[in-house]
A and B are shown apart, each in its own frame.
Chain A
Amino acid sequence: MPENLEFSGNWYVDIGILGFVKLMKEVYCWDLEKLKEMISRDHEKVYYGYFPFAYFYKWCSDRNENVDKEIVSSLVKNLEESGLQNKTEELFNYVWFKYICKLFTNLWVENKLKILHKKDAYDKKDKVKKQFNYTNSQKYLQLICEREKFIYELQKNHLEDIKKILENEKLKMVGYDEIKYLLNIDLDNNSYPTIPNKVKELIAKLKETHSDIENFLKEEWKKIIQTEKIDEKDSHFYRLPIDSAFYKNFLFFNNFAGNLEQKQSFYYMLSSNFDKEEILDRIDKTINKFLPSESEFINISYTKLSTTIFKNQYEYIFVYLICFTYGIENYKNLGYVVFYSNDLAFTYSVNKKLKLYKEKIKVSTHTNKIFKVTWQQIIDFLVEYKSTWSLENMYIISYQSLDNQFQKGVRYIGIHKLQASLLLDDKIREALNTRIKCKNASDEGDRCWLLEEFIQGKPLYPIILNHINLTLTSDENFNWTSCLYGLLVDAYIANFRGKNKTIFSDNFFDNYKALVKEIKEEVRITTFFSSLISNISDEIDTRKRVARELYTALCGKDKKMFLNILLKNLNENTKLSSNINFQKWILEKIIANDTSFEMHCLILVMSLLRG
Chain B
Amino acid sequence: MNEENAYYWQKVVNDKKINLDLKKLKEAVFNGFKGESDNYKQRLVYNLLETIRNNDQKEFFYVLLKSINKPNKDYMNLLEQLNNNYDVMPEEAFINFAYTIIIGIMATYGGEKNE
A residues whose Cβ falls under 8 Å from a Cβ of B: 495, 498-499, 559-561, 563-564, 567-568, 570-572, 574-583, 586-588, 591-596
Contacts and interface: CB of A to CB of B under 8 A. Distances in A.
Contacts of A570: 106
Given A567-B106, A586-B103, A587-B22, A593 B45 contact: no
Q: Which of A499, A564, A571, A579 has the most CB of B within 10 A?
A: A571
Given A568-B49, A592-B22, A574 B95 contact: no
Contacts of A595: 5
Contacts of B107: 577-578, 580, 583
Contacts of B100: 587, 591-592
B22 A593 contact: no
A568 B110 contact: no
Interface of B: 1-7, 22-23, 26, 38, 42, 45-46, 49, 52-53, 55, 91-92, 95-96, 99-100, 102-103, 106-115
Contacts of A578: 106-113
Contacts of B52: 560, 564
A564 B53 contact: yes
Given A563-B99, A571-B45, A588 B110 contact: no
Interface residues of chain A: helix, strand, loop or mixed (majority): helix
B5 A498 contact: yes
Contact of B92 (A583, A586, A594): A594
A580 B113 CA distance: 6
Nearest to A577: B106
Contacts of A499: 4
A563 B95 contact: yes
A513 B112 CA distance: 39
B2 A593 contact: yes
A571 B5 contact: no
Given A564-B52, A568-B49, A588-B2, 7 more contacts: A498-B5, A561-B53, A574-B42, A574-B110, A578-B110, A591-B96, A594-B6
B25 to A, nearest CB: 10
A574 B46 CA distance: 13
A383 B79 CA distance: 59
A568 B96 contact: no
A574 B107 CA distance: 9
A576 B114 CA distance: 9
B106 A592 contact: no
Nearest to B45: A571
Top-4 shortest CB links A-B: A575-B111, A574-B109, A578-B109, A595-B5
A13 B49 CA distance: 65
Given A560-B53, A577-B107, A578-B111, A567 B2 contact: no
A580 B111 contact: no
Contacts of A563: 95, 99
B35 to A, nearest CB: 14
A603 to B, nearest CB: 16
11 contacts: A563-B99, A567-B103, A572-B42, A574-B38, A578-B109, A578-B110, A587-B1, A588-B1, A591-B103, A592-B96, A593-B6
